[in-house]
């Protein structure tokens, strides 16, 4: 599994590209950058006027060198984390799709439907994500899924109104998403970018 970091997040000094290796050695790259900044609000729903700051404390945060966020969080044994990456990297094992009842559908072997993973990037966020477009059936669902995925970085904006969705056509140029029917869209889309208006 690759993690590509192409834009430095505001809290990190230098961009870097990291490959995960089974035998660790990540420690060298984990420069913990100590930055003080106030906790952001987690309030993501309609109640945006309040925008309460739940957390008063200002404190240092250990930022992981490979852009995953916090070092050692969630608190999973590093051996277990490495194992899951080695053996169940995205697209091969399970894809986290959800069926009508909200149950996770896990693709155990590739006999299930084709997976259609495209990279999604959001302006200002260094971490690219992947999304399986075959699990999504409309632009509406795409937008709300992306909001959910990037909710940590979206403030005061639960419906994505301040972002526009651009996609890279297989010809290479960038277009505004939503103009062509969904079925055509998923045939041609290579990657997606959420651009601030």
Partner 1 sequence: MDPNQKRAKAVDRVDSVDTGAASSESTRMCPFPDEVLERVLSLIGSHKDRSSVSLVCKDWYNAERWSRRHVFIGNCYSVSPEIVAARFPRIRSVTLKGKPRFSDFNLVPEDWGADVHPWLSVFSTAYPFLEELRLKRMAVSDESLEFLATNFQGFKALSLLSCDGFSTDGLKAIATNCKNLTELDVQENGIDDLGGHWLSCFPESLSSLEILNFASLNSEAPQLMELGTGTFMQELVSGPVTELKNTFSNCKHLVTLSGLWDATPLYLPVIYPACARLTFLNLSYATLRSIELANLLTHSKSLRRLWLLDTVGDKGLEAVGSCCPLLEELRVFPADPFDQEIFLGVTESGFVSVSRGCPKLRYVLYFCRQMTNAAVATIAQNCPDFTHFRLCIMNPGQPDYLTKEPMDEAFGAIVKTCTKLQRLAVSGLLTDRTFEYIGKYAKNLETLSVAFAGSSDLGMEYVLGGCPKLRKLEIRDCPFGNAALLSGLTKYESMRSLWMSACNVTMNGCRELAKEKPRLNVEVMKDEGSDDSQAHKVYVYRTVAGPRRDAPPFVLTL
Question: Which of 7, 18, 20, 32 touches partner 1 (CB under 8 A)?
Answer: 32
User: Which of the stretches 22-30, 153-161, 174-182, 183-191 binds partner 1 when contact is defined by CB under 8 A?
Assistant: 22-30
Smallest distance, Å, CB 186 to partner 1? Answer: 16
Residue 117 pairs in a beta bridge with 132
HEC-encoded secondary structure of the chain: CEECECCCCCCCCCCCCEECCCCCCHHHHCCCEEEEEECCCCCCCCCCCCCCCCCCCEEEEEECCCCCCECCCCCCCHHHHHHHHHHCCCCCCCCCEECCCCCEECCCCCCCCCCCEEEEEECCCCECEEEEHHHCCCHHHHHHHHHHHCHHHCCCCCCCCCEEEEEEECCCCEEECCCCCHHHHHHHEEEEEEEEC
Binding mask 54-73 for partner 1 (x = CB under 8 A): xxxxxxxxx-----xxxxxx
16 binds partner 1 (CB under 8 A): no
31 binds partner 1 (CB under 8 A): yes
Binding-residue total with partner 1 (CB under 8 A): 65
Question: Which of 30, 116, 147, 175 touches partner 1 (CB under 8 A)?
Answer: 30
Residue 2 pairs in a beta bridge with 19
Binding mask 154-193 for partner 1 (x = CB under 8 A): ----------------------------------------
- Residues binding partner 1 (CB under 8 A): 1, 23-24, 26-27, 30-34, 39, 42-43, 54-62, 68-81, 83-84, 86-88, 90, 93-98, 101-106, 108-109, 129-132, 135, 145, 148-149, 152
């Amino acid at each position: 599994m690759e993690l590509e970091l192409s834009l430095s997040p505001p809290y990190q000094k230098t961009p870097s590209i990291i490959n995960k290796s089974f035998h660790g050695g990540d420690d060298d790259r984990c420069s913990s950058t100590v930055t003080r900044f106030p906790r952001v609000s987690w309030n993501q729903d309609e109640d945006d006027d309040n925008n309460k700051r739940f957390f008063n404390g200002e404190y240092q945060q250990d930022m992981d060198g490979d852009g995953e966020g916090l070092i050692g969080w969630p608190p999973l044994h590093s051996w277990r984390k490495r194992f899951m990456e080695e053996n169940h990297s995205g697209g091969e094992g399970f894809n986290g799709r959800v069926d009508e009842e909200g149950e996770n559908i896990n693709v155990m072997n590739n006999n299930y439907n084709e997976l259609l993973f495209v990279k999604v990037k959001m302006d200002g966020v260094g971490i690219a994500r992947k999304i399986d477009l075959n699990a999504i059936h409309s632009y509406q669902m795409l937008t709300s899924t992306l909001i959910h995925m990037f909710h940590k970085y979206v403030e005061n904006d639960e419906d994505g109104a301040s972002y526009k969705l651009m996609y890279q056509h297989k010809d290479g140029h960038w277009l505004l998403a939503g103009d062509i029917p969904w079925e055509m869209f998923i045939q041609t889309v290579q990657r997606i970018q959420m651009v601030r208006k």
